Amino acid sequence: MKQICAAVLALPLLATSPASAEMLDLSTITCKDFVAGSKERIGVMLAWMDGYYRDEDDPPILDFDRFNKNAERLGAYCASHPSVGLITAADSLFEKKK
């Protein structure tokens, strides 16, 4: 959980990180893999999920309070369900709007 909160705080630092050619298939990542990841990787995944689980017509605003609450919810869920897939966990917590 502390790692996820630290990753959220590290998001602004990602803008200065060098680009990587690595690919990440979120459909294959378990909750255990997620919480064990590096701060940078967790931050990138959380940012991607924040955009993915928004309504198509939502304004382009990053609400840090909402973001942090969702990150904490996902972190708590994943800590309790390490074998569940990350996307399955996120789907159960955040409704995908069409």
> For 75-87, what is each residue's pLDDT tens digit?
999 999 999 999 9
Region 11-25: mean pLDDT is 61
Sorting pLDDT into bands at 50, 70 and 90, what band is 97?
low
Region 26-38: mean pLDDT is 95
The CA-atom distances, in angstroms, between 35 and each of 19, 38, 40 are 22, 8, 12
So what's the pLDDT on residue 24? Answer: 86
Q: Which CATH code for domain 2-10+27-93?
A: 1.10.890
Q: Where are the domains of the chain?
A: 2-10+27-93
So what's the pLDDT on residue 8? Answer: 53
Give me the chain's average pLDDT, please: 84
pLDDT at 20 over 60: no
pLDDT at 34 over 90: yes
CA distance 43 to 54: 17
Concatenating the DSSP letter of every residue in the chain gives -HHHHHHHHHHHHHTTSPP------GGG-BHHHHHHS-HHHHHHHHHHHHHHTS-TTS-S---HHHHHHHHHHHHHHHHH-TTSBHHHHHHHHSPPP-
pTM of the model: 0.72
